[in-house]
Copies of this chain bind each other. A is one copy, B any other.
Amino acid sequence: MAEERIRVNAEKLKKLAARELESLGVPKNDAAITADVLVTADLRGVETHGIVSLVPFYIRGIQAGRINPKPDIKVSGTNLSTATVDGDKGLGYAVTYRAMKEAISRAQETGVGFVSVGNSTHFGPGFYYAMMALEYDMIGFTLTCSPVAEVVAPGSNTVSVGTNPLAIAAPANKKPPFVLDMATSVVATGKFRKAILEGKSVPEGWAIDKEGKPITDPSKRTLDNGGILPLGGTPELGEYKGFGLGVAVDILTSVLSGYAPAVLRRTKEVSHLAGALRISSFTAVDTFKNLMDEMIEAYDALPKLPGVKNIYIAGSYEAEVQKDREANGIPLLPQVIQTLKEAAGELGVEFDL
């Protein structure tokens, strides 16, 4: 089933996505931000969070009334280093962009900024917002709770916590930045969808069923049958750590925004946390960035196990992919292009890729 992919220009793809969103009433700026986040995910090879989601999740979400195209995003907070954002059920992309800008602006003043976000929706790839801090010589943090619990607690056979990802970005000098973006579960939900589409089984250790036995047929994992395992996977290999991180993300997003975490099953809104630490508030920016370069070079030079070509720290591989795709286009599956084309027809906007 290996279909030929077609290389598409990133800038044209962004413009198409923005046109489709604008046609639904999304303000020009918010549409441009959302398009930029989605296409940046594709540029960096994070395809599960790329343009493939535009039509099924966001365009359909706006049409169905789950997402508010013209939110009244409220930023408040009288403390110098913090703020709270009410997302008014707007696109999580535009809401989180706004929150991260606010965190950066607070960090410029005081050294640190943390902004909680409630009443939002899915924000896509967290790394994008964490990376917004880089050009200001800051370390960026983004956390989000998942809309639905899909992960089991150690000892339970019932989903209680989301895959709750966290992202951290830190700048280097000549080397690409450190960019970690990870679900706190063994794998993100998208990996099961991908396996189902490809007709493949999944490894033991990703999920268990109601009896606690491993699920290898990805279609067997449903919200009523077991769930995804926390990072670590088994008691012996530290699953309490992945679970603890998942609960910590719920605390720092939902609870800190005054919303019930997933285990209470009464909140549909999604909450986030955006943070920034200004490096110059701790040490000289040059010292920091040069140490980052040296660190990354030392990892490059480590002895490798047989068959291993490169040792990557988080963000390095993605930077390689981005370089190629910015030059040569993003390889999209024909059916993804077809879906975008059909949506353009339906929405009455120009299709030009």
Chain A contacts to B: CB under 8 angstroms: 77, 79-82, 84, 109-114, 116, 139, 153-158, 160, 168, 170, 178, 180, 182-183, 186-187, 203, 205-206, 211-212, 231-233, 236-238, 240-245, 247-248, 250-252, 254-261, 263-264, 277-279, 281-284, 287-288, 291-292, 294-295, 298-299, 302-306, 308, 310-314
Contacts and interface: CB of A to CB of B under 8 A. Distances in A.
B256 A283 contact: yes
B156 A187 contact: no
Q: Which of A158, A244, A255, A281 has the most CB of B within 10 A?
A: A255
Chain A binding surface SS class:
mixed
Query: Which A-B residue pairs are the 5 nearest by beta carbons?
Result: A82-B111, A79-B111, A155-B308, A180-B244, A258-B283
A193 B141 CA distance: 35
Contacts of A259: 291
Given A232-B231, A232-B232, A314 B240 contact: yes
A256 B280 CA distance: 9
A298 B263 contact: yes
A226 to B, nearest CB: 10
Contacts of A279: 256
B232 A186 contact: yes
A15 to B, nearest CB: 33
Contacts of A263: 295, 298-299, 302
B153 A299 contact: yes
Contact of A80 (B111, B186, B303, B313): B111
